[in-house]
């Protein structure tokens, strides 16, 4: 099976742990959902999808080129939301407010990927940490319970983005596993 690749930013372990702990009420409101453990909380900068082995090297180079254009970027994890809306939620997230250059980093990664033969992702970049995925067949009561629980949750953490990690997502019989393929440090050299 061809692995799916994505570029991501990971908060430091202590920040991820505090965000996860702050969201305990959400997990309690809907314990049967697929909640992300603290160690897997990340912000996807670019999703590439299934990529053949030879093409991942070109993506790695493009990602490294884009990352070198930026100094480390301050971000704040703040607030909760759902895609597309709370009433039709498929993803529950913690928002990320970032230095405007974070979006430019996303754009530069997109441009460099395109120059190496990747298709444009074509989505609006809305930085967030995915907390849970909600199956399509989950009923309205589950979505309402999460929305109600979210009203009492306060998330506010800060950290500095100093690298973007190219990750491989591999689905197997025991679930999905993420493995780092390459790291692209931010910093003008």
Residue of 20, 42, 106, 178 marked catalytic = 42
Q: Is 72 helix (H, G, I), strand (E, B) or coil?
A: coil
From the candidates 20, 106, 128, 178, which is the catalytic residue? Answer: 128
Query: How many angstroms separate the CA atoms of 177 and 95, rounded?
Result: 24
Query: Catalytic: 42?
Result: yes
**How many CA atoms, within 13 angstroms, populate the side-chain half-sphere of residue 159?**
20
Q: Does residue 90 have a cis peptide bond before it, meaning omega lies within 30 degrees of 0?
A: no
Backbone angles phi, psi at 92, to 5 degrees: -105, 135
125, 36 contact by CB (below 8 A): no
Query: Which residue numbers are catalytic?
Result: 42, 128
């Amino acid at each position: 099976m061809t692995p799916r690749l994505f570029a991501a930013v990971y908060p430091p372990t202590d920040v991820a742990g505090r965000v996860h702990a702050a969201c305990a009420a959400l997990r309690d409101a809907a314990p049967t959902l697929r909640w992300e453990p603290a160690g897997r909380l990340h912000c996807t900068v670019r999703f590439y999808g299934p990529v053949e082995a030879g093409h991942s090297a070109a993506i790695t180079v493009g990602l490294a080129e884009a990352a070198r254009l930026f100094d480390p970027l301050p971000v704040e994890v703040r607030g909760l939301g759902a895609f597309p809306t709370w009433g039709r939620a498929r993803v529950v997230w913690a928002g990320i407010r970032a230095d405007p250059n974070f979006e430019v980093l996303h754009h530069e990664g997109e441009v460099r990927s395109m120059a190496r033969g990747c298709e444009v992702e074509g989505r609006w970049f809305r930085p967030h940490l995915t907390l849970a995925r909600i199956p399509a067949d989950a009923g309205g009561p589950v979505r309402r319970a999460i929305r109600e629980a979210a009203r009492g949750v306060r998330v506010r953490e800060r950290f500095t983005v100093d690298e973007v990690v190219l990750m491989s997502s591999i689905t197997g019989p025991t679930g999905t596993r993420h493995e780092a393929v390459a790291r692209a440090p931010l910093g003008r050299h």
